Amino acid sequence: MGTRVRFVDPARLYKTLKEELDAAYFSVMEKGDLIDRGQLRSFEQNLANFVGTTYAVGLNSGYDALHLSLRAAGIGPGDEVIVPAHTFVASCSAIVNVGATPILVDVLPDFNIDPDAAERAVTPRTKGIMPVHLSGWPCDMDRVMEIAVRFGLIVVEDACQSLGADFRGRKVGSFGITGCWSFYPFKILGGYGDGGAITTNDPEVASFARRMRYNGEDRQTGEYHGHGYTCLLDNLQAAFLDVKLKRLPDWIVRRQSIAERYREALSDLPDLLLPHYDDARRTHIYQNYTLRSKQGSAFSDHMKENGVEVLTQFRKPYYRHAALKLVDRGFPETEALSREVCSLPMNVEIDDVEIDYVIKTVRSFYGK
What is the binding site for ligand PLP (CB under 6 A)? 61-63, 87-88, 90-91, 132, 158, 160-161, 182, 184, 194, 196
Smallest distance, ligand PLP to C-beta of residue 6, A? 18
Find all residues with CB under 8 Å of 156, minimum gap 6, and list them: 66, 69, 70, 73, 81, 128, 129, 130, 176, 177, 178, 180
Smallest distance, ligand PLP to C-beta of residue 180, A? 7
CB closer to ligand PLP out of 113 and 145: 113
Smallest distance, ligand PLP to C-beta of residue 291, A? 18
Contact (Cβ atoms closer than 8 angstroms) between residue 104 and residue 329: yes
CA pair distance 343, 355, nearest whole angstrom: 13
97-103 contacts, C-beta under 8 A, 24 or more apart: 97/67, 98/67, 98/70, 98/71, 100/70, 100/75, 100/76, 100/127, 100/128, 101/125, 102/326
* Strand 126-129 relative to strand 101-105, pairing: unpaired
CB closer to ligand PLP out of 138 and 266: 138
CB closer to ligand PLP out of 117 and 132: 132
* Phi, psi (degrees; rounded to nearest 5) at 214: -120, 50
Quick count: other Cβ atoms within 10 Å of Cβ 232? 22
Smallest distance, ligand PLP to C-beta of residue 195, A? 7
Contact (Cβ atoms closer than 8 angstroms) between residue 131 and residue 157: yes
CB closer to ligand PLP out of 113 and 148: 113
Residue type, 319: Y
Smallest distance, ligand PLP to C-beta of residue 89, A? 8
CB closer to ligand PLP out of 282 and 302: 282
CB closer to ligand PLP out of 196 and 272: 196
CB closer to ligand PLP out of 209 and 362: 209
CB closer to ligand PLP out of 184 and 331: 184
274: burial class by Cβ within 10 Å (0-12, 13-18, 19+)?
A: middle
Smallest distance, ligand PLP to C-beta of residue 59, A? 9
CA nearest to 288, candidates 367, 182, 365, 366: 182
Smallest distance, ligand PLP to C-beta of residue 306, A? 27
CB closer to ligand PLP out of 83 and 362: 83
Q: Give the 3-state secondary structure of 116-128.
A: HHHHHCCCCCEEE
* Strand 170-171 relative to strand 126-129, pairing: unpaired
Smallest distance, ligand PLP to C-beta of residue 88, A? 4
Smallest distance, ligand PLP to C-beta of residue 132, A? 5
70: burial class by Cβ within 10 Å (0-12, 13-18, 19+)?
A: buried
CA pair distance 316, 101, nearest whole angstrom: 21
